[in-house]
Structure 1
């Protein structure tokens, strides 16, 4: 084949490659344009983030910012869709981290964290914390990274988010490994390994096995470290993951070198060199050459050692791996020193220091560039917020003008009827204030009654049980008292707070009664317990009555059951308390037989509160008690139905 033919063939291949690249670019940007045509809503944000991930490799290869994620971020900010803001920031931050822009990545992930906290999305908060923690690890800010991962772990465990638990646990282990706290690192890696095995995540299993090998090697337990490296190697071979295989071979080579088993070390390092041909990042090839050179140097085979170190230098020079060049020249200097050639050793030291200075200069320049990038991003975000603010002001001005016109038109009519309604409202307000004062008085009667009963229970429990159980009882009681003191400062509290105090009360009574009954809560799925309001301590007296007049009198072999259900019917909150106790008739017989004259103050006070609630709101508020019977007429329990007007925060 002539030179002319070769040139023509190269031209064709180049044209084909450029054509393929142009087609990829056209296809990607056509997709972006098609997504832009969609309606601006949260679904569009999710689609932009998804397509950004699918096309991330294209933009990374061309060193471009991902426009899908940028548009998702801008749209989320316009919609005040905090989950979308957090997800976009997380994706952009991880992309920056993959390009070694760790300072920028940390800034993006911290913004993602703030947005996730605004969204009150616990899983997204944990994910953002883990991302920021990884950034800090790369920047050697180990204490800050540790704090991020610990916060992520606590939140992830609260919601049983296995993926974030694994990431946080593994990352904490890596930080402890860096700090040479090998025992703590092993504990975290083992926990992460157990979770990854249960999740059938082979990659996570392989990574944690390798990490355990590093930790045991740090403790000097080389045989155990080698076992874990080999297990990790088997997992990577199973997944056909070249980079993982190369890492394991290099780790095994280092471990056998430390054992002074130079033959085995050389075997694994040469295997790593073979596998590295399949890995895109050629820094691993340079690392393998350097490791083999150091191994030969340890065996006083200086000529061969320098050949391999030189090969590492050649590869690193071609690809521009300055950190590897610094280490390689340092190793070359050591080898020349060992062989007595001090002049060449000094030359190699000078070159190593030259690359070290170059690396420091580059890192300083990169840090400055990243700080400038952060400034530009913040400036752009501020501009977006300013535009949104101006847009909002314009809308408010329009609304204000409409409101003024309407007000002027309606003012005359309002002036005519205003006097009548003012007088009527004043009278109603006076009546309502009177009723509220009565309600507050009844509430203050209720609380001492409940606290007295609880303290009496604790007194009996302490004298009849051991100190450990008494301490547990007192701890729960103190938590309950705190909730009661907080809740009863208000006329209404959120449903979740009321249910939390009720659960604590039931736990205390269950402990006190030696677990003779069980309880269940059934909350309507349509109810948001953070928004629905309920009078504090409104259900407790009926729950107490069900326990002490119904369930405690059941036969020992019969298990008591208390069901508490809350549903929303139109504008009413229907609370039902059902027990499978002995029924009211038999309870009264037992009471008469024992000669008890005490009447339930709590129930009378609560009935008075419900009556006042009905008067204040002019809405349905009732209490209905139903005796439950089987087909033969035998009592099977009691049901109390409390209907309250539904109140909401918003």
Structure 2
């Protein structure tokens, strides 16, 4: 089909599509309004989820958020229904995955796992683990994907859920196939094939037969691979699945090309091209043109090969298939090189690289956008939880006031004595609550402050390093964000959790600073870091200050950062020591650069420590000492933070 034909077809369908879209819009809004009038319960959430699935194509076509699921999510939070939340997050995650937003999809599916476990719904856990595994597999995080699918498989086998057993087994097979562990892949595909045959699921049978063909082709057993491709093709023809048929024809063409049976390979690639006219996604048509071009190029039929490659390029430009354009120009460059036309080969190679760079830039931008989306989602979830918590507290306070009035009337004779002690106690409690709310406010400031600094760092890192390193940095950063978002919801966290986030932060800073410093974290032998509690993000601002105002300016020797945590009496003493340039030189550098910025993180943290002292009426303070060598020259800084020792038990 030519480009002109595609344009004409698009114009003919435009009017009909517009009318159908208007009708779908009216029907969708009518359904939405009908459901909104229902009582707020889990049945309403289930209806919203089902309606969201029914109209998901409408929202995808309009590139807008699913109205039904956006309504279902806060309602499920309000009802505190763990099962409903797991269902909503599964649907949201799958929708984001279908749009290639894999980071957001993984975050949603991890939330689905959490709520499915809270609901103790094994079937829902199987689904959630399998979904998270697929997200990780799409990001090439194979070990994490394997762990998710293995967990799903174990749970599904426990309840004998064949559907999730098939999904997990097939996915593990695909992971092994990607890792080139062909024997393990074949074993898993064989098991999945038998289960799909027993379930009479023809589509699952066709997929696993094709996967077996890929595995045997990887072992260079081409005749066996061709046998399985033919079996898969027969099933796809039986169920009239054009996409499956196109995949099988392309696979057969590639296998016969490896056997150097070019005539048979061309026959199957032409069949793939023909059947692709029935497939909505035109990327398969472009792929078929390109495969035929590569086959002709292998036979030194360069002029004919270039015609097919050019058709693939024209179609990909029309539909903006950047990955296909990159591959097509790469193949065209190889063909020109094989025929001795090095100038045109170089031009085609340059175009291929341009599209490759464009794809990488889009991926980086999408990753940053998805991280922001994850942060916004978590922030909204926390707001919903806070509002519900405040509502419960308000009801408790109202009940307390009613009880107080009745008690006051009953004990009127004791009003003077009891009133004196009650008023005194109430004032103390009110003062303490005020301090605690102020402490919570200061603690909440650390989260956006830290995220802002980290996003600024990640932006600089992406533009100053290659894409693979930036991707690795971004993955570690997302893990750190998850820890920070979890930890800062609590007044205290266990010491091991705080140190875990601190180590991850130090690893990222060391990576960004090209390893200019080393660090050691030492915990006293009498401390059980799983029982000792510490305010979250209390050490990080001082560590950050030591790195960026002391160690990064040190050029004559390797930087060293030591963090020591010990128990003294009933106090937790944390010492942060660096061998940087010292505070005086740091201030001189700061003045030379003309920077008037003061550390927000350290100011907020000092305020937090002061409030901890007031609330607990115990020693809590920060002291900063300048270190000097034997010659009296600055040799770094030592920060000592003393906090009241808190324990779980």
Same fold (TM over 0.5): yes
Measured at CA, do residues 251 and 31 of structure 1 come closer, stay the same or move farther in structure 2, by a change above 3 Å? same
- Cα distance per residue 1:316-360 (max 9 Å; x no partner): 111111111111111111111111111111111111111111111
Partner of 2:287: 287
Q: How many residues align?
A: 404
Q: How does 1:24-103 map to 2 (within 5 A)?
A: 24-103=24-103
Q: Distance in 2 between matches of 1:36 and 1:221?
A: 59
Displacement, 1:17?
4.4
Partner of 1:141: 141
Matched, 1:132 2:106: no
- Cα distance per residue 1:375-406 (max 9 Å; x no partner): 11112111211211221111121222233345
Matched, 1:196 2:164: no
- Work out whether residues 226 and 255 of structure 1, in 8 Å CA contact, stay in contact via their aligned partners in 2: yes
Q: Distance in 2 between matches of 1:207 and 1:164?
A: 15
Larger radius of gyration: 1
Partner of 2:447: none
Q: Distance in 1 between matches of 2:246 and 2:305?
A: 21
Measured at CA, do residues 17 and 254 of structure 1 come closer, stay the same or move farther in structure 2, by a change above 3 Å? closer
Measured at CA, do residues 51 and 182 of structure 1 come closer, stay the same or move farther in structure 2, by a change above 3 Å? same
Q: How does 1:451-600 map to 2 (within 5 A)?
A: none
Partner of 2:224: 224
**Secondary structure of 2:65's match?**
coil
Displacement, 1:27?
1.2
C-alpha RMSD of the superposition? 1.9
Partner of 1:210: 210
Partner of 2:20: 20
Partner of 1:361: 361
- Cα distance per residue 1:288-319 (max 9 Å; x no partner): 01110111111111111111111111111111
- Work out whether residues 253 and 268 of structure 1, in 8 Å CA contact, stay in contact via their aligned partners in 2: yes
- Work out whether residues 293 and 304 of structure 1, in 8 Å CA contact, stay in contact via their aligned partners in 2: yes
Matched, 1:373 2:373: yes
Q: Distance in 1 between matches of 2:214 and 2:278?
A: 24
Partner of 2:177: 177
- Cα distance per residue 1:96-119 (max 9 Å; x no partner): 111111111111111111111111
Displacement, 1:16?
5.7
Displacement, 1:198?
0.8
- Cα distance per residue 1:165-215 (max 9 Å; x no partner): 110000000000000000000000001111111111111111111100100
Q: Distance in 2 between matches of 1:117 and 1:411?
A: 49
Q: Distance in 1 between matches of 2:114 and 2:37?
A: 30
- Cα distance per residue 1:275-300 (max 9 Å; x no partner): 11111111111110111011111111
**Secondary structure of 2:245's match?**
helix
Measured at CA, do residues 405 and 182 of structure 1 come closer, stay the same or move farther in structure 2, by a change above 3 Å? same
Measured at CA, do residues 293 and 51 of structure 1 come closer, stay the same or move farther in structure 2, by a change above 3 Å? same
Partner of 2:391: 391
Matched, 1:251 2:251: yes
Measured at CA, do residues 93 and 267 of structure 1 come closer, stay the same or move farther in structure 2, by a change above 3 Å? same
Measured at CA, do residues 259 and 167 of structure 1 come closer, stay the same or move farther in structure 2, by a change above 3 Å? same
Partner of 1:309: 309
Q: How does 1:327-476 map to 2 (within 5 A)?
A: 327-405=327-405, 407=407
Matched, 1:154 2:151: no
Gaps of 5+ in 2: 1-9, 413-649
Displacement, 1:19?
3.7
Q: Distance in 2 between matches of 1:395 and 1:35?
A: 29
- Work out whether residues 196 and 205 of structure 1, in 8 Å CA contact, stay in contact via their aligned partners in 2: yes
Measured at CA, do residues 86 and 303 of structure 1 come closer, stay the same or move farther in structure 2, by a change above 3 Å? same
| TM-score normalised by structure 2 residue count | 0.61
Measured at CA, do residues 401 and 353 of structure 1 come closer, stay the same or move farther in structure 2, by a change above 3 Å? same
Displacement, 1:409?
6.6
- Cα distance per residue 1:463-497 (max 9 Å; x no partner): xxxxxxxxxxxxxxxxxxxxxxxxxxxxxxxxxxx
Displacement, 1:26?
1.4
Measured at CA, do residues 315 and 406 of structure 1 come closer, stay the same or move farther in structure 2, by a change above 3 Å? same
Q: Distance in 1 between matches of 2:305 and 2:407?
A: 91
Q: Distance in 2 between matches of 1:302 and 1:18?
A: 44
Partner of 1:109: 109
Measured at CA, do residues 225 and 410 of structure 1 come closer, stay the same or move farther in structure 2, by a change above 3 Å? farther
Measured at CA, do residues 45 and 301 of structure 1 come closer, stay the same or move farther in structure 2, by a change above 3 Å? same
Displacement, 1:14?
6.1
- Work out whether residues 70 and 88 of structure 1, in 8 Å CA contact, stay in contact via their aligned partners in 2: no
**Secondary structure of 1:166's match?**
helix
Measured at CA, do residues 403 and 226 of structure 1 come closer, stay the same or move farther in structure 2, by a change above 3 Å? farther
- Cα distance per residue 1:71-122 (max 9 Å; x no partner): 1211111111011101100001101111111111111111111111111111
Gaps of 5+ in 1: 1-9, 413-650
**Secondary structure of 2:393's match?**
helix
Displacement, 1:20?
3.2
Q: Distance in 2 between matches of 1:13 and 1:52?
A: 26
Displacement, 1:259?
0.9
